[in-house]
Amino acid sequence: MRHDALSKPLYVTQPALPPLEDFLPYLQEIWGNKILTNGGPFHQQLEQALCDYLGVKHISLFTNGTLALITALQSLRITGEVITTPYSFVATAHSLLWNGIKPVFVDIDPHTFNLDPAKIEAAITPQTTAIMPVHCYGHPCDVQRIQKIADNYGLKVIYDAAHAFGVRHAQGSVLNDGDLSVLSFHATKVFNTFEGGAIISPDAKTKQRIDHLKNFGFVDETTVVAPGINGKMSEINAAFGLLQLKNIDTTLAQRKEVDARYRRNLAHVRGIDCISPPPNVTPNHAYFPILVRPDYPLSRDGLFEKLRESNIYARRYFYPLISDFPMYRGMPSAAPANLPAARVAAEQVICLPLYPTLETAHIDAISELIAQYGAPPALLHAI
């Protein structure tokens, strides 16, 4: 085993950062013009640059993805019940509770880990107003089937696209699907602005409403049209985003290489499945989730602990299920019998370290450990 490669902790991710000196001119500009926030020049430039890069029409920057989700729901005046997935980061469902909306959990597809379109209709009630799916790991949902159901029942679709920066399918950017899509630019994401987020909207009128809502509801100096929040991205974050965008293609290419090496290394390990995006998708390699199947000698948690002993801090995204947290678990849709595929995923998936600067030796060392623990006992003694 390559102990030397594992002498320092390896975390599930590490933010991509440009050379510090490259950021100084941006800071000098901010210090010079004294515009720190409230839609300043960097904010405007980043919105335009992201529209161009992502291939979307309108984008509104936010302080983080969670406030963007909360505001997206408000902007479409969503009330009552919203169908969503239990297999996500807790912010997805929290954004519903923050709006006084009842989340209705629907199971995931066991192969895509995204909301199962076949299960959505049975969960629709007269109170249902929207569907909030998640492109889990940046792997696109079955957007066409979801849209068809939404159209049939007159529902809105708001995608939690926190993981899906830059992801494209045959129709172009996945961020153009549904009524709105929400991104996260958190430190742990493919594209980060330290903290940050955004809403992608299809038309200028919707963007305008969102922009009012993220600025307390102000339309002009003396007119407030809604009980908005303060969700504005600061000039420092926006400037940093502009710099990050210059390097994003390199970052994505590096991620792709890490992903490919893991896949090669782990291809023949019995009991381990590397989870893949659907075909005809340009992925962003945001995560490297693997399924630890029952025929692997260790349980997922067993492997998780063993990796920790070797200084490898993989993460169980997403365990526990959102529906198991105290504020959700009493809801009828949170009942375990309603969510069998999500439960299996929460028990079997582990995300391995993946980030642009992850060294080849580290990828190989992690893979070797997984292969070793997966070897039949006789072989293990021989190692």
Residues in touch with ligand T4K (CB under 6 A): 11-15, 64-66, 88-89, 91-92, 134, 160, 162-163, 184, 186-188, 197, 313, 315, 317
* Residue closer to ligand T4K, measured from CB, 179 or 374: 179
Sheet containing strand 272-274, edge to edge, reads: 272-274, 288-292, 349-352
* Residue closer to ligand T4K, measured from CB, 71 or 176: 71
Distance from C-alpha of 41 to C-alpha of 235, rounded to nearest angstrom = 8
* Minimum distance of ligand T4K from residue 326's CB (angstroms): 18
* Residue closer to ligand T4K, measured from CB, 88 or 128: 88
Q: By Cβ distance, which residue is nearest to ligand T4K?
A: 65
DSSP string, 239-252: HHHHHHHHTHHHHH
* Minimum distance of ligand T4K from residue 303's CB (angstroms): 17
* Residue closer to ligand T4K, measured from CB, 62 or 296: 62
What amino acid occupies position 278?
Answer: P
- Interhelix angle 41-54/235-246, nearest 10 degrees: 40
* Minimum distance of ligand T4K from residue 379's CB (angstroms): 32
* Residue closer to ligand T4K, measured from CB, 17 or 149: 17
* Minimum distance of ligand T4K from residue 196's CB (angstroms): 7
Of residues 166, 172, 114, the one with CA closest to residue 145: 114
Distance from C-alpha of 106 to C-alpha of 85, rounded to nearest angstrom = 6
* Minimum distance of ligand T4K from residue 168's CB (angstroms): 19
What b/e string do you get for 2-41 counting C-beta neighbours within 10 Å, with b at 16 or more? eeebbeeebebbeebbeeeeebeebeeebeeeeeebebbe
Burial (CB count within 10 angstroms: exposed 0-12, middle 13-18, buried 19+), residue 241 = buried
* Minimum distance of ligand T4K from residue 315's CB (angstroms): 6
* Residue closer to ligand T4K, measured from CB, 187 or 331: 187
* Torsions phi, psi for 90 (to 5 deg): -60, -20
Q: Give 108's strand partners.
A: 115
